[in-house]
Amino acid sequence: MGDGVLIVEDEAITALEMQKILESWNYDICSIVSTGEDAIKVAKNSQPDLILMDIILKGEMDGVEAASKIKEFTDIPILYITALESMDFTRLKNTKGIGYLVKPISEGELQHNIEIAIYNYRSTKEEIENIKYNSLNDVQVFMQSIIPQLSSKLSIIDRGIILGRFHRRFEKLMKPKFLRETGIINRNAYETLSQKKKLELYFAWISKFFINLGFQVKIRSELNEWLITLKKCSWCEKNNENIFYCLICQAIIKQTFRWMDISEYYIENESNTNSSKAECKYKIYLHESD
């Protein structure tokens, strides 16, 4: 199967027994840890398919608290394991755990719960990706079919009004997704990153965004200057004299970069809507660099 499982268990013998059983079912064990702090580190670095989380752990952090912190940056399914017959189920629900097993656990019960957890996790991820893909297609179809007719007949002032509305809608719909997928939503962890790492997160996200809209994206960096090149703009294929598409892309770049909370920068853009070589370039200059 090749599925990565993280075992969080402070009893060494129990952990080794679970490892042996899971490996006999062809699951990969990415790591075995005994503290909540180590569980958080491994979950962040290894991104396993499933976490088997003992509730009682060594150290100051129990399994529920560790799970809560893990859920701040990933949706990896967590299956609790405990020797306690009674517990605070409200805490478990708040961490969105998929369930719990009480020791001693039978092999059949363990296997059944793991298979269901991984299957549901992968099915949900696939469904979300399909929704995102279809939504992006809808955006592209809308912009191709509606904006040319509107913008070609609008005054500069009216175009500004439409762009303002776009800004507000884009902020409302995309900012939560942006913060979640870049990890900025976890402010404490984000603030510890170097400026270079923050920029890498941004350019990875914005590249994927435009690629999903049908663009060819190239990113280049040199010292404190970053260059984003968007090629093969399908929006301009039949409307190469309409600059409204360029204004939309400019709005997306400038608005998303503001969400990074990086000070002292300047964005310069150069657009070429010639149908034979439609491309836009955005240079981001940083006044300071780590």
Q: pLDDT-derived band of residue 290, with 50, 70 and 90 as boundaries?
A: very low
| pLDDT 10s digits, 148-187 | 444 555 566 666 677 777 778 888 888 888 998 888 888 8
Tell me how far apart the alpha carbons of residues 114 and 107 are, in angstroms, rounded to a whole number. 11
Q: What is the pLDDT of residue 8?
A: 94
Q: Is the pLDDT of residue 246 over 80?
A: no
Identify which of 1-5, 85-89, 282-286 has the greatest average pLDDT: 282-286
| pLDDT 10s digits, 189-225 | 888 888 888 888 999 999 988 888 778 899 988 877 8
The correct answer on CATH 3.30.70.100 for the domain covering 4-121 is: no
Instruction: Give the CATH number of domain 146-286; options: 1.10.3470, 3.30.1380, 3.30.2310, 3.40.50.
Output: 3.30.1380
Tell me how far apart the alpha carbons of residues 183 and 174 are, in angstroms, rounded to a whole number. 14
**Over residues 71-76, mean pLDDT:** 82
**Over residues 125-130, mean pLDDT:** 64
Tell me how far apart the alpha carbons of residues 251 and 266 are, in angstroms, rounded to a whole number. 14
Give percent helix, percent strand, percent coil of the chain, each to the nearest 5. 50, 20, 30
Q: What percent of the chain has pLDDT over 70?
A: 74
**Over residues 95-111, mean pLDDT:** 79
Q: Do 4-121 and 146-286 share a fold? A: no
Tell me how far apart the alpha carbons of residues 78 and 99 are, in angstroms, rounded to a whole number. 8
Domain borders along the chain are 4-121, 146-286
Q: Is the pLDDT of residue 84 over 90?
A: no
Q: Is the pLDDT of residue 289 over 80?
A: no
Query: Distance of CA 180 to CAs 166, 190, 205, 282, 283, Å?
Result: 21, 11, 11, 24, 25
127 versus 194: the higher-pLDDT residue is 194
Give the chain's end-to-end CA distance (angstroms, integer). Answer: 42
- Average pLDDT value over all residues in the chain: 78
The C-alpha angle 128, 129, 130, rounded to 5 degrees, equals 90
231 versus 123: the higher-pLDDT residue is 231
Whole-structure pTM value: 0.48
What tokens were used for 243?
Answer: 């600059």
**Over residues 90-104, mean pLDDT:** 74
Q: What is the pLDDT of residue 209?
A: 87
Q: Is the pLDDT of residue 146 over 50?
A: no
141 versus 37: the higher-pLDDT residue is 37
DSSP of 127-178: HHHHHHHHHHHHHHHHHHHTHHHHHTT--HHHHHHHHHHHHHHHHHHHHHHH
